[in-house]
Amino acid sequence: MNFRLAQVIVDVPSRETDRPFDYSIPKSMQGWIEVGSRVGVPFGHRTVQGFVVSLKKDSEMDSARIKPVAELLDLVPPLPPDLVELAEWMSRKYACSMISSLQAMIPAALKGKAERYISVAEQEKENYGDSADSLFVMQPLLTGEEEEIVTYVKASGSVTLDHLNTRFPGQAGIIKGLISQGVLSEVQLIKDKVRKKMVKTVAATVSGNEAEVALSSFTAQARRQKEVLQFLLEVGIPLSLQEVLSTLRVTAGTVKKLEEKGYAVIEEVEVFRDPYQNRRFKGTEPLQRTPEQDVVYSRISAALDDRTFGTFLLHGVTGSGKTEVYLQTIERCISSERQAIVLVPEISLTPQMVERFKGRFGSKVALLHSRLSHGERYDEWRKIREGKVQVAIGARSAIFAPFRNLGLIVMDEEHETSYKQEETPKYHARDVAVHRARQHGAVVILGSATPSLESYYAARSQVDDKFAPVLLEMKQRPSGSHLPAVHIVDMREELRDGNRSMFSRALHAGIASRLERGEQTVLFLNRRGYSTFVMCRTCGYVAGCPECDISLTYHQKSNNLRCHYCGYATPAPSVCPECGSEHIRYFGTGTQRVEGELAKLFPGIRVVRMDVDTTSEKGAHEKLLQAFREKKGDVLLGTQMVAKGLDFPDVTLVGVIAADTALNLPDFRAAEKTFQLLTQVAGRAGRHQLPGEVFIQTYMPEHYSVVHASGHDYDSFVREELKYRKGLHYPPYSKLILVTLSHEKLPLLLRMAENFAGDIRLKAQRLGWYGNLDRFSSEALDIMGPVASPIPRIKNRYRFQCMVKYRGSMDVVGLVREIALTTHHNLRDSSLQISIDVDPQMLM
DNA sequence: AGCACGCCGACT
DNA sequence: GTCGGCGTGCTC
């Protein structure tokens, strides 16, 4: 069966080119080009990279315009067919282009760009021979400048256009002219960002008797060569040239001579860059399962053995041993010749985590994380594609690990927002995982101590037939250790009693006593609260939107308060509307401020500060934690990153500076995120012999997210939170699509945004979808806005957004995409950008 | 996105 | 007269 045509998605990010283009497959590439192949194709006036998404037999129609594939870029297609299918699904689900979906699936190293190579045209060489001095005869029509360039190109054979441009600056026009005259010719080839790493190896070609003869044949002068051969014979396996040179202190010339005599061969072989090659990992054995773990393990194992698609939501308290369950189910999966993907939030891809998996599975594991170089990442990825490993661990994008026979996908901390990509393609790894597992008949485990409401609701109600996980629970800690005592500190009381510091008296005393006893403290600051909101320091009143039940954002420029959902605005009050106090002000605090205050209150205190500023350097994260572990600091102060998976034996106090900073963000998930974080943080203290204590400072001590986090009570929290969500028709009781329009000209943008929202409304009405979500019906759709985006201008472009909120299984994404397309088409102005975020996580 | 084509203003 | 400004339209 010979396919003659390849349908190719080209690497040109525009709406008009977001469809397959047909190319003929040259004889030489037939059989090699498959679905998922990466190719170089002529496109317009240049060559671009593309991906083959399907193959066709010859079609008689429109054959005249069809060009051939220029180049096949990899011997093995980088994408197996199921990933191409997944890309199609992603593009539909998230309203993004095919090329962006495909690009997200391969390592950045393979984002090839065309390189233009220039050489002297063939007929020119033939006509005028090869000798340089015949040039003046041959080109009477060429100017001196032109001649100089041609001579240069001829002498070097083939040069890149870039090189030629730097060698002959300001003469780009002349070079272009020579190409169009046919004197010079141009070839475009796709060049990858990294090459495979090659290493030279040396091996002896003789052995036994032959070797004896060879060794005795060396003269005294060639004694170094003799040493090399002896060494090679002793070792008996090929060695890297580098190794031979450094151990014997000989030069490459010596080895080369040996090769010339035929006693050895030097070969170039490709190697994998292994970022962990110099590290030894202590092997670990599976632990004895607790009864709880055993129940969970058997349920999942049964599903694995069935080899049919299934999803589990594993709700286990911090320290209940979820990781051990993962490890053992992975073991079971790979022992049946199938592979497993483990997804973790980037932030928890810590050395401890790595050690645990490497310790159990050793070289069967590939690690994909953002700190790897392009080359290292590419190599880890190739180990997966070539079947050299059975387990892939990584952040979000590891869901695209090119395994061919997936059996299990584990998603740890499934509630983490980092699983949603904020750039195009704006996919959620959880949904992609479920779809991929379905393709492979694989099992998904979503694990968390504080599951997302979406997952928990789906598991509880079994309502969504596409994704209804089976709920599994683990409520005990195998170690028998107790969850720490959590104290809520009312900061309003502190102020009333005259304490204006950011530390309550209780926390202050706590830190002081830890300093005395030589124990350690972790202080947590929620960075998400950095944006400003208005709050009364006397009574805790927070300005909220009357329509949306969400706190308002303070805008300094206009001195008013605004709602990001409905556009409501009101002047900023100077006294509290609730209690009349003048202590009303906008809030916001940073780690630096806390550090400064600590230094003032506790002279000589050693603070390890972890935030974006101090951890931007490679490895800084690990270094800071190591320093704290070695007790080079009394206090570890940081944001999110101190909350995750850390385990220090001497930490007996955890303080949350301001629990409610995130609560007041204009985000309907504010309570959920606060609860998750507080629960996470509270799990940090007292994990070992020393008992732990947690202080949560807050201005809203009665808020249910704070109360239930302090009681380690997930169920009660969820009950209240679902009530709130249901009342306002937020997920999981509805689905959201956030559409952001941007343009340089504000009036035009505003008009377009109004038009867009109007068109959606109109079309939805015609389809019978439109209507208030309050009405009793399984299908309803509402569109809010347009309103100015939380960041109203980025890079000189104004931004407006609309929020589509709906219930039912209608293809609303399709509708939004269609209207976006026509809006664009009608305006004929390519500078209008419309970005669509399906299931948005960040609403500000 | 590029890149060429094409139609109007400041220069040798 | 021509060089070159960037609007518009196409890419199998």
Half-sphere exposure of A419 (CA within 13 A, CB side): 21
**What Å value separates CA A169 and C1' C3?**
19
Helical packing angle, A223-235 and A241-248, nearest 10°: 120
CATH of the domain spanning A735-838: 3.30.70.590
- Is A165 exposed, middle or buried, given 0-12, 13-18 or 19+ CB atoms closer than 10 A? middle
Instruction: Compute CA distances A747 → A36, A127, A565, whole Å.
Output: 45, 63, 21
pLDDT at position A744 is 80
pLDDT: is A597 or A50 the higher one? A50
- Average confidence (pLDDT) over A423-433: 96
Considering only A94-98, A475-479, A633-637, A760-764, which range has the smallest mean pLDDT? A475-479
Q: Can you say which residues of A are annotated as belonging to the binding site for Zn(2+)? A: 536, 539, 545, 548, 563, 566, 576, 579
CB of A66 lies under 7 Å from some atom of strand C: yes
- Average confidence (pLDDT) over A159-180: 79
**What Å value separates CA A766 and C1' C7?**
38
Q: Which long-range contacts (CB under 8 A, 24 or more apart) does A712-721 make?
A: A712/A317, A712/A483, A712/A486, A712/A679, A712/A682, A714/A315, A714/A449, A714/A450, A714/A451, A714/A679, A717/A675, A718/A453, A718/A456, A721/A453, A721/A671, A721/A672, A721/A675
CB of A262 lies under 7 Å from some atom of strand B: no
Separation between Cα atoms, residue A190 and residue A598, nearest integer Å: 56
**What Å value separates CA A419 and C1' C9?**
39
The nucleotide whose C1' lies nearest the CA of A11 is: B1
Which residues, 6 or more positions from A552, have their beta carbon under 8 angstroms from its beta carbon?
A533, A534, A543, A544, A545, A561, A562, A563, A568, A570, A666
Separation between Cα atoms, residue A99 and residue A269, nearest integer Å: 33
Considering only A234-238, A763-767, A808-812, which range has the smallest mean pLDDT? A234-238
Asked if A97 and A821 count as a contact pair (C-beta separation under 8 A), the reply is no
> What are A566's two structure tokens?
């409905």
Q: What residue is closest to B4 (Cα–C1')?
A: A45
CB of A45 lies under 7 Å from some atom of strand B: yes
Please give residues of chain A from 816 to 835 whose alpha-adjacent beta carbon (CB) lies under 7 Å from any atom of strand C. 828
CB of A173 lies under 7 Å from some atom of strand B: no
Reported confidence tier of residue A330, pLDDT bands at 50, 70, 90? very high
CB of A44 lies under 7 Å from some atom of strand B: yes
Q: Which long-range contacts (CB under 8 A, 24 or more apart) does A210-214 make?
A: A214/A263
| Ranges A364-368, A635-639, A772-776, most confident | A364-368
CB of A279 lies under 7 Å from some atom of strand B: no
Separation between Cα atoms, residue A378 and residue A331, nearest integer Å: 25
Q: Residue A701's closest CA among A710, A692, A693?
A: A710
pLDDT: is A777 or A424 the higher one? A424
**What Å value separates CA A43 and C1' B4?**
13
Separation between Cα atoms, residue A325 and residue A289, nearest integer Å: 8
pLDDT at position A123 is 65
- Average confidence (pLDDT) over A633-643: 82
Residue A137 clears pLDDT 50, i.e. is over it: no
CB of A14 lies under 7 Å from some atom of strand B: yes
State which fold the A5-109 domain adopts. GIY-YIG endonuclease (3.40.1440)
Instruction: Compute CA distances A727 → A35, A245, A590, A720, whole Å.
Output: 48, 74, 34, 11
Reported confidence tier of residue A489, pLDDT bands at 50, 70, 90? very high
pLDDT: is A67 or A590 the higher one? A67
CB of A771 lies under 7 Å from some atom of strand C: no
**What Å value separates CA A45 and C1' B4?**
8
State which fold the A291-474 domain adopts. Rossmann fold (3.40.50)
**What Å value separates CA A829 and C1' B8?**
22
Residue A131 clears pLDDT 50, i.e. is over it: no
pLDDT: is A139 or A142 the higher one? A142
CATH of the domain spanning A485-531+589-727: 3.40.50.300
- Average confidence (pLDDT) over A16-35: 93
Residue type, A696: I
Reported confidence tier of residue A365, pLDDT bands at 50, 70, 90? very high
CB of A44 lies under 7 Å from some atom of strand C: yes
Instruction: Compute CA distances A351 → A285, A327, A347, A626, A648, whole Å.
Output: 19, 17, 11, 11, 14
**pLDDT tens digits, one per residue of A505-537:** 999 999 999 999 999 999 988 765 444 567 787
CA-based torsion, A422, A427, A428, A433: positive or negative: negative
Asked if A449 and A317 count as a contact pair (C-beta separation under 8 A), the reply is yes
Reported confidence tier of residue A564, pLDDT bands at 50, 70, 90? low
Asked if A346 and A81 count as a contact pair (C-beta separation under 8 A), the reply is no
Residue with tokens 């002047």: A571
Asked if A37 and A83 count as a contact pair (C-beta separation under 8 A), the reply is no
Separation between Cα atoms, residue A585 and residue A572, nearest integer Å: 10
End-to-end CA distance of chain A: 53
Separation between Cα atoms, residue A263 and residue A261, nearest integer Å: 6
Average per-residue pLDDT for chain A: 85
Residue A820: phi and psi, rounded to 5, are -60, -40
Q: Which positions on strand C lie below 7 Å from a protein C-beta?
A: 4, 9-12
Please give residues of chain A from 478 to 497 whose alpha-adjacent beta carbon (CB) lies under 7 Å from any atom of strand B. none
**What Å value separates CA A171 and C1' B12?**
19
Q: Residue A548's closest CA among A531, A562, A529?
A: A562
CB of A22 lies under 7 Å from some atom of strand C: yes
Residue with tokens 């191409």: A84
pLDDT: is A831 or A98 the higher one? A98
My answer on whether omega of the bond before A786 falls inside 30° of 0, hence cis, is yes
Q: Residue A631's closest CA among A531, A742, A705, A520?
A: A520
- Is A598 exposed, middle or buried, given 0-12, 13-18 or 19+ CB atoms closer than 10 A? buried
**What Å value separates CA A44 and C1' B2?**
9
pLDDT at position A118 is 86
Asked if A382 and A308 count as a contact pair (C-beta separation under 8 A), the reply is no
Which residues, 6 or more positions from A40, have their beta carbon under 8 angstroms from its beta carbon?
A47, A48, A49, A50, A69, A70, A71, A73, A112, A114, A188, A189, A190
Asked if A834 and A823 count as a contact pair (C-beta separation under 8 A), the reply is yes
The nucleotide whose C1' lies nearest the CA of A45 is: B3
Which residues, 6 or more positions from A180, have their beta carbon under 8 angstroms from its beta carbon?
none
pLDDT at position A445 is 98
Residue A504 clears pLDDT 90, i.e. is over it: yes
Residue with tokens 């397959």: A20
Q: Residue A697's closest CA among A491, A492, A510, A485?
A: A491
pTM: 0.83
**What Å value separates CA A167 and C1' C3?**
24
CB of A516 lies under 7 Å from some atom of strand B: no
CB of A19 lies under 7 Å from some atom of strand B: no
Q: Residue A805's closest CA among A726, A741, A725, A731?
A: A731
The nucleotide whose C1' lies nearest the CA of A19 is: C12
Residue A803: phi and psi, rounded to 5, are -115, 120
> What are A73's two structure tokens?
């870029």
Reported confidence tier of residue A133, pLDDT bands at 50, 70, 90? very low
My answer on whether omega of the bond before A792 falls inside 30° of 0, hence cis, is no
> What are A843's two structure tokens?
């609403």
Q: Can you say which residues of A are annotated as belonging to the binding site? A: 536, 539, 545, 548, 563, 566, 576, 579
**pLDDT tens digits, one per residue of A63-117:** 668 999 999 998 889 999 999 999 999 999 999 999 999 999 999 888 888 888 8
Q: Residue A521's closest CA among A454, A451, A606?
A: A606
**What Å value separates CA A172 and C1' B7?**
24
Which residues, 6 or more positions from A836, have their beta carbon under 8 angstroms from its beta carbon?
A94, A95, A96, A426, A737, A738, A739, A813, A816, A817, A820
Residue type, A407: G
The nucleotide whose C1' lies nearest the CA of A21 is: C12
**What Å value separates CA A488 and C1' C2?**
80
* Other Cβ atoms closer than 10 A to A381: 26
Asked if A499 and A505 count as a contact pair (C-beta separation under 8 A), the reply is yes
Report strand pairing: A239-240 vs A553-555.
Answer: unpaired
**What Å value separates CA A44 and C1' B5?**
13
Considering only A73-87, A177-191, A450-464, which range has the smallest mean pLDDT? A177-191
Which residues make beta-bridge pairs with A120?
A: A184
Q: Which positions on strand B lie below 7 Å from a protein C-beta?
A: 1-4
H-run or E-run covering A805:
strand A797-807
Where does residue A441 fall: left (phi above 0), alpha (psi -120 to 50 degrees), or beta otherwise? left
